[in-house]
Structure 1
Amino acid sequence: MSEVKVGIIGLGNMGTSHANQIFKGNVQGAVLTAVCDERPERVDWAYETFGSDVQVFSSLDDFFDNENIDAVIIATPHYDHPKLAIKAFESGLHVLSEKPAGVYTKNVRQMNEAAEKSGKVFSMMFNQRTNPLYQKVRELISSGELGEIKRTNWIITNWYRSQSYYDSGGWRATWAGEGGGVMINQSPHQLDLWQWTTGLMPTRVRAFSGFGKYHDIEVEDDVTAYVEYENGATGLFVTSTGEAPGTNRFEVAGDRGKLVVEDNKLTFWRLRQSEREFNREYKGGFGEPECWKIDIPVHGKSTEHIGILRNWVDAILHGADLLAPGEEGIKSLAISNAVYLSSWTDDWVDMPIDEDLYYDKLQEKIKESKYEKPEVEQVTLDVSGTH
């Protein structure tokens, strides 16, 4: 294979961006051959933008029947990600899915199984993994420079959203439309980085969520989650769309000091001696290990979405290692699901969670949701590039 023929499902903000990048030749080795969207206005946009160079579909069945596709980018609403990915794998196609992996881990697990069975290249659009800053955090932790982790804290409250934002679409901030609020919509990247940089997944979670606390919405806009890890470390994740000004501060404390990410800077308070070792040996009463404050140099720029696109195509063509393997999408979603389940039951939740219980609770929320997906008129198309 000398090039990857890419089809895109969903021409919203992200799908449109990916389509333009590939169509303009900014992803070496990839060529845009097909797009699919059920909305007539996006179909018209695709014809006006791509002309006869790209096949345009409003029917998913017709899209998947097209033999001029090697790989699929899924950029649809959250609920559709797993079922479309499974369909793509069954059709023998490589897959890149937008985040989150889905809304509940039960069907994301099925998606991962389909990916493994297919043998195709599967990636997730965790574009923040391309940021050299977070790559450096991961390196310092995985190399043992920080020592064993004791505590993780992430305050990510700079997601401020006004009521008019939520009022701009009936699907926004609804259980039926999005499957959640700030945890599933704004915070998936941080949840992914939280576990990716530290290498830790919680063993249990206790969370407190405010549903419609600051806005007239049915889902959560304020969350405080406490987690525990297998090694005895603890963690805290705080997020909200109702605070201004907000904060974005990630802190990891270990046996050899602490790392802090804030204002796009990485600071390492490095202990010259292990705290545990100092604690055993020091006999002077008051005292603590000598500490150096180091501003860690971070080189390079974050390549964001196009970096993930290029990495995915390179993996298909040349076997490159994936920066964001699709199967890892379930990790951040599992944390998110645990936070919801703990909030709904007002109790601790052990991980892995009871997926059937979570699914049942979510269905209850969906039934009570004010949003009902409207019927969309299908557009009759041929595959010749005209309509």
Structure 2
Amino acid sequence: MEKVRIGIIGIGGMGTSHAKNIVAGKVPNAELTAVCDINAERLEWAKQSFGDRVQRFDQADAFFQSQAFDAVLVATTHYDHPGLAIQALNYGYHTLIEKPAGVYTKAVREMNEVAQQSDKVFAIMYNQRTNPVYQKLKDLIDSGELGDLKRSIWIITNWYRPQSYYDAGGWRATWSGEGGGVLLNQDPHQLDLWQWMYGMPKRVRAFMSFGKYHNIEVEDDVTAYVEYENGATGLFVTTTGEAPGTNRLEVSGDRGKVVIEDDKLTFWRLRVSEREFNREFKGGFGSPECWKCEIPTPGDNSQHIGIMNDWVNAILHGTKLIAPGVEGIKGLTISNAMHLSAWTDSWVDIPFDEDLFYEKLKERIDQSTFKKNVHNVTLDVSGTH
């Protein structure tokens, strides 16, 4: 195989962007050969944009049966991701899914089981993993440069969205259409990065407001506190209702702290660890010697194109994925635990009761203003993010 033939299912906002990037040659070892969408206007756009060199399908089954491609990129509404990925893998296609991995972990766990039994390359569009700033912080943590971790605080409030954003799509910001709000739409990348760099928490206590700043039924303001096995703690604050917002991540360990803000990484490095200083210093008031270091983060922040090239290279050459699809369940686990904590007004341990989560979600789906059968994988495949 010299080039990977790609079919995209869902050519709304993200699917359209991916299609344009492939056709523009930004993924050199791939070619776009098919698209699928139930929206006739989107298929007409594909015809006008790509002509007959790209096949068009209006039904998922016909798309998968066509064998017009080697690999599938799933860029649909959230509930569809696990079911369509399972179909793609079962038909023998390499598969890349958009974020989030799904809405609830039970469905994503089933998807992962299918992927692990398959010999196909399965990836997820966690494009923030290509950012050299976060890669460097992960390196500092993994190498022990920060020492034993103590605390992380992520304030990610620069997701401002006006009411018109939500009004533009009937499925958006509804329990039955999207499955959640800021945590499911805007924050999957940050929740993934949080666990990718820092690890999974052992329990969560979250506080949420639903429709606090907008006329929506899902969460648009979240403050969550987490605890880790080693005693470290974390705080995650997010909203779509603040302007101007902040994107600031601070991670503290016993050898200093790192702050990422404005795409810059600053390391306040202790000459000796705080724990060692605490044991040995006898002078009363004092603190460890600290050096402020501006850490260079060279490299290409290739984002979506980087993930697609990474996936294609793994298909062609067997290289290791930067964002394996099976890891999508981790950030979603944190998100689901946050929702369950808010819904039950209590602490939630990880792993949590997936049946209870789905029961609580189903209650909200049944009361949702957007009525659609969310259990059928032939849902609307024209989702945008």
CA-to-partner distance for each residue in 1:144-197, whole Å, 9 max, x for gaps? 000010001100001111122222222121101100000111111110111112
1:125 and 2:125 correspond: yes
Q: CA deviation at 1:229?
A: 0.3
Letter of the structure 2 residue corresponding to residue 349 of structure 1:
V
1:171 and 2:161 correspond: no
Instruction: Provide the C-alpha distance between the structure 2 equivalents of 1:349 and 1:87, rounded to a whole number of angstroms.
Output: 32
Instruction: Provide the C-alpha distance between the structure 2 equivalents of 1:73 and 1:165, rounded to a whole number of angstroms.
Output: 25
SS in 1 for 2:185: coil
SS in 2 for 1:102: coil
Instruction: Provide the C-alpha distance between the structure 2 equivalents of 1:302 and 1:39, rounded to a whole number of angstroms.
Output: 33
Q: CA deviation at 1:22?
A: 1.3
CA-to-partner distance for each residue in 1:284-318, whole Å, 9 max, x for gaps? 11111000111111112310100000000000000
TM-score (norm 2): 0.96
Give the equivalent residue in structure 2 for 1:286: 285
Give the equivalent residue in structure 2 for 1:259: 258
Give the equivalent residue in structure 2 for 1:385: none
1:136 and 2:136 correspond: yes
Instruction: Provide the C-alpha distance between the structure 1 equivalents of 2:72 and 2:132, rounded to a whole number of angstroms.
Output: 27
Q: CA deviation at 1:29?
A: 1.5
Instruction: Provide the C-alpha distance between the structure 2 equivalents of 1:74 and 1:7, rounded to a whole number of angstroms.
Output: 9
Instruction: Provide the C-alpha distance between the structure 2 equivalents of 1:347 and 1:285, rounded to a whole number of angstroms.
Output: 41
Instruction: Provide the C-alpha distance between the structure 2 equivalents of 1:285 and 1:327, rounded to a whole number of angstroms.
Output: 51
Q: CA deviation at 1:373?
A: 3.9
SS in 2 for 1:184: helix
TM-score (norm 1): 0.95
Runs of 4+ that moved beyond 3 A? none
Letter of the structure 2 residue corresponding to residue 223 of structure 1:
V
1:239 and 2:242 correspond: no
Instruction: Provide the C-alpha distance between the structure 1 equivalents of 2:208 and 2:77, rounded to a whole number of angstroms.
Output: 23
CA-to-partner distance for each residue in 1:354-383, whole Å, 9 max, x for gaps? 111101110000000011249xxx9xxxxx
Letter of the structure 1 residue corresponding to residue 280 of structure 2:
E
CA-to-partner distance for each residue in 1:184-236, whole Å, 9 max, x for gaps? 111111101111122x1010000000011111111000000000001110000
Give the equivalent residue in structure 2 for 1:158: 158
Give the equivalent residue in structure 2 for 1:180: 180
Instruction: Provide the C-alpha distance between the structure 1 equivalents of 2:31 and 2:294, rounded to a whole number of angstroms.
Output: 42
Instruction: Provide the C-alpha distance between the structure 1 equivalents of 2:365 and 2:288, rounded to a whole number of angstroms.
Output: 53
Give the equivalent residue in structure 1 for 2:222: 223
SS in 1 for 2:245: coil
Greater mean alpha carbon deviation, residues 96-105 or residues 295-304: 295-304
Give the equivalent residue in structure 1 for 2:11: 11
Q: CA deviation at 1:59?
A: 1.0
Letter of the structure 2 residue corresponding to residue 214 of structure 1:
Y
| Alignment map for 1:362-377 (pairs within 5 Å) | 362-373=361-372
Give the equivalent residue in structure 2 for 1:31: 31
Instruction: Provide the C-alpha distance between the structure 2 equivalents of 1:169 and 1:9, rounded to a whole number of angstroms.
Output: 19
Greater mean alpha carbon deviation, residues 227-236 or residues 27-36: 27-36
Give the equivalent residue in structure 1 for 2:383: none
Quote the RMSD (CA, aligned, Å): 1.1
Residue correspondences, number? 374
Q: CA deviation at 1:25?
A: 2.1
Instruction: Provide the C-alpha distance between the structure 2 equivalents of 1:259 and 1:267, rounded to a whole number of angstroms.
Output: 6
Gaps of at least 5 residues in structure 1 are 379-387
Instruction: Provide the C-alpha distance between the structure 2 equivalents of 1:24 and 1:168, rounded to a whole number of angstroms.
Output: 28
Gaps of at least 5 residues in structure 2 are 379-385
CA-to-partner distance for each residue in 1:266-296, whole Å, 9 max, x for gaps? 0000000011011110111111100011111
Give the equivalent residue in structure 2 for 1:326: 325
Q: CA deviation at 1:30?
A: 0.9
Give the equivalent residue in structure 2 for 1:108: 108
Give the equivalent residue in structure 2 for 1:351: 350
SS in 1 for 2:52: helix
Letter of the structure 1 residue corresponding to residue 113 of structure 2:
E
SS in 1 for 2:213: coil
Instruction: Provide the C-alpha distance between the structure 1 equivalents of 2:353 and 2:364, rounded to a whole number of angstroms.
Output: 17
Instruction: Provide the C-alpha distance between the structure 2 equivalents of 1:165 and 1:93, rounded to a whole number of angstroms.
Output: 34
SS in 1 for 2:79: helix
Give the equivalent residue in structure 2 for 1:42: 42
Letter of the structure 2 residue corresponding to residue 303 of structure 1:
S
| Alignment map for 1:176-215 (pairs within 5 Å) | 176-198=176-198, 200-215=199-214
Q: CA deviation at 1:69?
A: 1.5
SS in 2 for 1:183: helix
Q: CA deviation at 1:68?
A: 2.2
1:52 and 2:52 correspond: yes
Instruction: Provide the C-alpha distance between the structure 2 equivalents of 1:230 and 1:312, rounded to a whole number of angstroms.
Output: 33
Letter of the structure 1 residue corresponding to residue 216 of structure 2:
I
SS in 1 for 2:182: coil
Letter of the structure 1 residue corresponding to residue 204 of structure 2:
V
Letter of the structure 2 residue corresponding to residue 136 of structure 1:
K
